[in-house]
């Protein structure tokens, strides 16, 4: 995974050659690398507007995960 704000697609594609590489670009995502990021994800998904971009099934999965860590999240 390459996380860059300014990504040079032309350079990447010219170096990739004809191998079986796939390039997916994402915008507006949240990286979770530590517990602080996990807590920020909890705060973001607790907002009602998160239902517009997080499916009900994923919301339920995150809810179950957050329940497991609720003591740490409330610190």
pLDDT above 60 for 29: yes
Which residues, 6 or more positions from 6, have their beta carbon under 8 angstroms from its beta carbon?
none
What is the Cα Rg of the chain in Å?
17
Residue 14 in contact with residue 51, Cβ under 8 Å? no
Rounded (10°) angle between helices 56-68 and 35-45: 130
Q: Where are the domains of the chain?
A: 51-75
Predicted TM-score (pTM) of the model is 0.59
39 falls in which pLDDT band (50, 70, 90)?
A: very high
Query: What pLDDT shows up at residue 27?
Result: 76
């Amino acid at each position: 995974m390459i996380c860059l704000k300014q990504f040079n697609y032309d350079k990447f594609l010219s170096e990739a050659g004809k191998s079986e590489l796939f390039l997916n670009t994402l915008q507006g995502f949240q990286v979770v690398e530590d517990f602080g990021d996990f807590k920020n994800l909890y705060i973001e998904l607790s907002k009602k507007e998160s239902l517009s971009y997080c499916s009900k099934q994923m919301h339920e999965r995150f809810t179950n995960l957050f329940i497991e860590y609720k003591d740490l999240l409330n610190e």
